[in-house]
Structure 1
Amino acid sequence: MEKSRLLWRAIAQQMPSRPLSTWTCTQCLHLRQQHRPLKTPPLLRRPQRRHQTQPADDPSFKSIVDNPPRLIRAGRRHNRLGLVVLATIPITAFALGCWQVQRLTWKTDLMAKFEDRLVREPLPLPPQIDPDAIHDFDYRRVYARGKFRHDKEMLIGPRLHDGEDGYLVVTPLDRSAEFRGFAGNTTVLVCRGWVAKDKAAQAARLAGLPTGEVVVEGLLREPWKKNSFTPDNKPEEKAWYFPDVYQMAEHTGSQPVWIEETMRPDLLASYDRSAKGIPIGRAPEVNLRNNHLHLDVSSLFLNITASSLMLDAFLFLSIALLAYAIATEIYRYKVRLPTLPGPTGLPIVGNLYQLAPDPAETLHQWGKRYGGVYQISLGTRPVVVFNSMQAARDVFVGQGHALLDKPRLYTFHSVLSSVASSIGTTAWSESTKRRRKTAASAMNKPAVASYLPFIDELTKSLVSELLEHGRGGEVAFDPRQAVASAVTDLTMTVNYGARLPPDEALLNEIIDVEDGLSKIKNPLGSAQDFIPILRLLPYNSQSAKAREVNRRRLIYLRRFERETEDRVEKGVDKPCIQGKCLRDPTVQLDQVDLMSISMSMVSGGLDTMVNTLAWTIGTLAIRSDIQEKAYKAICNAYGSETWGPIEDEHGVPYIDALVKECLRAFSVLRLSLPRAAWKDIQYGDVFIPKGTTVFLNAWGCNRDEIVFGTDAEVFRPERFLEDPDLPHAAYGFGTRMCAGVHLANRQLYVLLLRLIWSFRIEMSKDPAERIERMRPLEDVTEPFHLAAIPPGYRARWWLDFAREFQVVS
């Protein structure tokens, strides 16, 4: 026993206070829990008994020598359920991989079968189809003859096409005329294709509503299967989110037969269809996702690592996003202007998404709360908003030299126009100064007087085109295409010395491209301009659309430049901006400057002139009382036998007042192109530091009740007869206001005078083609567009000089 006690003391002295590994002797662990490590003197010293009740004195004591040691794992035991789950991950991943291989084989065979059906000649669709047999004819090409029932049209959406929001157009095809002897139902559902969101209303795409008998060729498809994430359709509200063929067939009284109309892929044809509102059909090809091989490899790899990485990734992204939000919020409050009130905004985005649904009107209403000058935050960028006429004129005119600059917006200046941009969007520099001086000298009053023969010719051409298309009032049609052609002709003549070539496809391409540019030029049109983190997204639809629009624009601009250079070399050119710059060696403009001027001329007229005339013509068609007053004023000035000399600039004061009221009331450029402070600005107690972005809310200024009275919302040209010096903000204010003011006013004056004298304008009698009102606030189709676009309509152009008007109150 004494020997055992001495050995125990020697081992206890040499053992560390903590285990050296995760494995521990049970006996030692038991002893350590009962007693602290003994501080025993070295063995060479004689042991001394300190206590009568030491463990070794107990007769029942057993040392580690007496019992064999047993090893156990120190710490918590692992949950067996977790071990089972961990063990099933590789098994599950392997099973998923095998399933994907089987799916790959099945999908390859299915695609081969469908592609074989596509190469066969289309079959005529029988009068009635058994729904159970459609499975055997899926992706089979068929054709059918009949008449579209546009009154039962359905729009499924939203749907994206090349990054643009829109709808799928589904129209029943009535084939009763082809199968007159058949007693059953012959109507089928035809998915005609995709239309843009701004063409959703039938009045905006009349060219895409064929009225006669048509032949439809497409693919017979099986009914779609709805997933759990898609909301239910609401037929009573005309809200269709998913093509439920049986539900749609019951709603329209058709057979549950779905045909997808096809068209050959053609870029120009797609542009032309989109501009006219004609649905863009699908390509005749098999659209089945075949990613099973990729999914096979992914499942075998990702399923193994997902369980351990997903939580870490989620926590990392959450912390990073929180840190980013805190940092941006601190910076946003730091750069806010201390002397200006304004809405608080949200983290990261500021007030950007609070401006919906109509930014100009939202800023107008905020102006009533915060005053004529206040600030908002777009992302982290502070923006000063001028919302009252007096404050805008005091600063933009009184201190115009301090607002020469333009802010740099990522999408427009870095992606779309990295080399050249229009004059109105370019930062102030000596080059910008030269461009603006050249353009302004080409559109001042003396220069506009030299363009009067062109304006005279173009207005006569427009009147002839309206007369021809309308057949003297028998046919109602949308006049915007003809107006756009006339406006583009004039800008082409001023800039290039030649009219637009008689190519309708080219005109449609220009209109479509410039419309896309207007969406990008809108200072609130791209969130990535103010939220930099969005630029890092792997697929950036906004940048992709900007690059595509810029590519298409450069194609026709370079074509016009080459044609102008050829005319100059041959000596057959007419006076124009580009010709003057090419001929005069003293003009210090390079190719980038000339391209910038061309961009400004082509886009400026389509943004402002076309939309202003479209709003005005629609208003005249509804308000015959205004037509009567204008026509009588023209007759009083020139007589009823002529529309007067074109040289007379203000011969009819009522027409002059009508032009100003159109510019004020409709305010097509509702948020003028933004400015940036070139110098520090002090306006009363308001201090605006250099570099600050400044918005002129032309919409709000043109509705300032202090200037225009309590009837500022009413369209009333007489206000400018009562006070001819009454201002409006349609062209902006100050040094960098629109350089084409004189040309635009002159063209509007001549066009309205001659259209009112030549025609009696009325809305179409067809309820689907007419509108009952033209209210610029409620009826604007795209509030986030740079230019306010009116709703679609069709008008009749009566060549009737008797003028028997029915006054509409």
Structure 2
Amino acid sequence: MAIATILLSLNDKLLKNTLQSLLLTLVAAPLVYVFINELVRHNARIRGMKGPSGLPLIGNLWDIRDNAAEKYREWARKFGDVYQIQLGNVPVVVINSAAAAKAIIGQNAQAMSSRPQFYTFHKACHALILSDTAGTTIGTSPYSESLKRRRKGAASALNKPSVQTYVSHLDIESRDFIKELYIYGKAGEIPIDPMPMAQRLSLSLALTLNWGIRLKSQNDDLFHEITHVEEEISRFRSTTGNLQDYIPLLRLNPINLHSARAREMRKRRDVYLSSLNNDLDERIASGTHSPCIQANVIMDAEAKLDKAELTSISLTMLSGGLDTITTQVAWFLAFLSQHPDIQEKAVSEIRKFYDKSQPMCDPLDDSRCEYVVALVRESLRYFTRLEATYYLFMDE
């Protein structure tokens, strides 16, 4: 009886101590993690460079949640044109003026050749591949010998003689773009959303220039699949849209839907990329292919690119066109819609060439209509695709 009493007493004490230890662990573990993480974040900061300190774990992510550009301007007034912030654990140098960007980026081009690696885009999205080049574009790849080869290969396909072979493609797609605006808008009688037309223009140009095939209609299943997938993948490259890129703790989530979504988009992208590449290979083999960037790169013996690197160049042409051309054209159309006087001036200048024996432009000579040339160049300057604020992500 006495032994039983002693055993029960020991069991109660052990159970009590276990519960106390578990409770202590539950309370202490998060505090220890935060403390260690703050040491890591503090050591990651660039010594001697000013900038806001931010909150524990998340840094300045909370500060830029609403209007990032305005917050950057506010910080620039306090810390200067060049300062550092922290997105979670990652230190970021913000360059907030054109003069500072020219001095730092323009004069240090070689040092700025690399790109940061993000967990969502470079790891979660491409977890199913062995190569670190097959799923990234030239603009999203860290500096390496492979990147140098890809840049050289792309440059060979984008030099002046090569570009001249693509002019007929540009002419066809531009004509179809205007035709779509005319048809869908019933010659200007009804308001329309020009975004699908701009997307088809961008995508068809990318497909034509890179693979030598056209996308003739918005109703094509390939149009909807590529625009949807590339738009989703573009979000994975978002500076502030993926918190797990900056807060390592979030990566431990066993049901991380964000990472699962990234992998799904990668699989869907692989399907249409393989189809486009295989189709081009067959046309090259049979000698029926049209002049295009991918074919030029494949047949360039000096490039010495493997399949993964060729895929990277394809992605560069595809996603780059969808990101830049679509946005540029959409903004330009929006601007013109608010300035009918500029439209009228452009039309009157174009009509001056109707009665001349030579066309307004030809493959060997750019537009002779000075007003249109100036208008296009101004749109490229005014609606530039570069962000107002430049980020320099420091290596973790």
Aligned to 1:670, the other structure's residue is in SS state coil
Question: In structure 2, what is the Cα distance between the partners aligned to 1:650 and 1:397?
Answer: 30
- Equivalent in the alignment of 2:25: 316
Report the 3-state secondary structure (helix = DSSP H, G, I; strand = E; otherwise coil) of the residue aligned with 2:186.
Answer: helix
Counting only pairs closer than 5 Å after superposition, residues 360-371 of structure 1 correspond to structure 2 as: 360-371=69-80
Q: Once superposed, what is the RMSD of the aligned Cα atoms?
A: 3.0
Shift of 1:469: 1.9
Q: What does 1:757-772 correspond to in 2, within 5 Å?
A: none
1:438 aligns with: 153
Structure 2 partner of 1:235: none
**In the aligned structure 2, how far is the partner of 1:357 from the partner of 1:562?**
44
1:469 and 2:178 correspond: no
Cα deviation digits, residues 587-635 of structure 1 (max 9, x gap): 3111100110111111111111101111111221122122233334434
- What SS is found at the alignment partner of 1:384? strand
The residue type paired with residue 391 of structure 1 is A
* Distance in 1 (alpha carbons) for counterparts of 2:367 and 2:293: 27
Match of 2:323 in 1: 607
CA-CA distance at 1:562 after TM superposition: 0.7
Conservation of the 8 A alpha-carbon contact between 1:520 and 1:546: yes
Q: Which amino acid aligns with 1:608?
A: T
User: What's the secondary structure of 1:580's corresponding residue?
Assistant: helix
Structure 2 unaligned spans of 5+:
10-14
Q: Is the 8 A contact 2:120 2:244 kept in 1?
A: yes
Change in CA separation of 1:364 and 1:639 when aligned onto 2, cut-off 3 Å? farther
Q: Which amino acid is 1:558 matched to?
A: S
Contact 2:152 2:303 in 1 (8 A): no
For residue 102 of structure 2, the aligned residue among 368, 389, 393 is: 393
Deviations 1:724-760 (A, max 9, x none): xxxxxxxxxxxxxxxxxxxxxxxxxxxxxxxxxxxxx
- Determine helix, strand or coil for the equivalent of 2:62: helix
Aligned residue among 538, 553, 567 for 2:254: 538
Q: Aligned pair 1:334/2:43, yes or no?
A: yes
For residues 310 and 627 of structure 1, the distance between their equivalents in structure 2, rounded to whole angstroms, comes to: 77
1:458 matched to 2:173:
yes
Q: 1:309–1:559: structure 2 CA closer, same or farther, 3 Å change rule?
A: farther
Q: Distance in 2 between matches of 1:309 and 1:625?
A: 80
Q: Is the 8 A contact 1:489 1:500 kept in 2?
A: yes
1:29 match: none
Q: How many angstroms apart in 2 are the aligned matches of 1:309 and 1:644?
A: 86
Change (3 A) 1:342 1:460: same
- CA distance in structure 2 between the partners assigned to 1:652 and 1:311 by the alignment: 82
Q: How does 1:133-144 map to 2 (within 5 A)?
A: none
Q: Counterpart of 2:75 in structure 1: which amino acid?
A: W
Q: Distance in 1 between matches of 2:74 and 2:351?
A: 42
Cα 1:372/1:655, change in 2 over 3 Å: farther
Amino acid at match of 1:553: R
Give, in whole Å, the separation in 1 of the partners of 2:70 and 2:389: 14
Residue 663 of structure 1 is matched in structure 2 by: 380
Cα shift at 1:554: 0.8
Please say if 1:559 is aligned against 2:275: yes
SS at match of 1:578: helix
Q: Find 1:378's aligned residue among 82, 87, 90.
A: 87
Match of 1:479 in 2: 194
d(CA) in 2 for partners of 1:499 and 1:330?
Answer: 54
Q: What is the DSSP-based 3-state SS (H/G/I as helix, E as strand, rest coil) of the residue aligned with 1:354?
A: coil
Supply the AA of the counterpart residue of 2:310: L
Match of 1:32 in 2: none
Corresponding residue number in structure 2 for 1:359 = 68
CA distance in 2 between partners of 1:326 and 1:640 (Å): 77
Q: Select which of 556, 569, 574 maps to 2:285.
A: 569
The residue number in structure 1 matching 2:114 is 405
Cα deviation digits, residues 315-340 of structure 1 (max 9, x gap): 43332111111111122222212221
Aligned amino acid, residue 428 of structure 1: Y
* Separation (CA, whole Å) in 1 of partners of 2:125 and 2:179: 38
Distance 2:387 2:96 in 1: 11
Aligned equivalent of 2:12: none
2: CA distance, partners of 1:658 / 1:589:
39
| 1:424–1:673 Cα contact (<8 Å) kept | no
The corresponding residue for 1:596 is 312
Task: Determine the C-alpha separation between the residues in 1 that align with 2:387 and 2:57.
Answer: 26
* TM-score normalised by structure 1 residue count: 0.44
Task: Indicate conservation of the 8 Å contact 2:95/2:390, yes or no.
Answer: no
What is the rounded CA distance, in whole Å, between the counterparts of 2:160 and 2:296 in structure 1? 18
More moved, 550-559 vs 661-670: 661-670
> What secondary structure is seen at the aligned counterpart in 2 of 1:382?
strand
CA distance in 2, matches of 1:659, 1:326: 54
**Residue 162 (structure 2) aligned to one of 447, 457, 472:** 447
Aligned to 1:338, the other structure's residue is in SS state: coil
Gap runs ≥5 in structure 1: 1-19, 24-73, 75-304, 677-690, 694-809
| CA distance 1:314–1:355, change in 2 (3 Å) | farther
User: Is residue 347 of structure 1 aligned with residue 64 of structure 2?
Assistant: no
Shift of the alpha carbon at 1:546? 0.4
Q: What one-letter code is carried by the residue in structure 2 that aligns with 1:406?
A: R
**SS of residue in 1 equivalent to 2:110:** helix
Identify the structure with bigger relative contact order (alpha carbons < 8 Å, sequence gap 6+).
2
Report the CA distance shift for 1:499/1:387 in structure 2 as closer, same or farther (over 3 A): same
Aligned length: 378
In the aligned structure 2, how far is the partner of 1:660 from the partner of 1:309? Answer: 72
Task: Give the TM-score normalised by structure 2.
Answer: 0.86
Counterpart pick for 1:550 among 257, 261, 266 = 266
Q: Which protein shows a greater Rg?
A: 1
2:346–2:372: 8 Å Cα contact kept in structure 1? yes
Residues 506-533 of structure 1, C-alpha deviations (whole Å, 9 max, x = no match): 1011111111011001132211111111
CA separation in 2, counterparts of 1:320 and 1:643?
A: 75
Quote the Cα distance in structure 1 between the aligned partners of 2:175 and 2:389. Answer: 32
Contact kept in structure 1, 2:38 and 2:56, CA below 8 Å: yes
CA change 1:543–1:310 in 2 (3 A) is farther
What is the distance in 2 between the residues matched to 1:501 and 1:558? 20
Give the 5 Å matches for 1:126-205. none
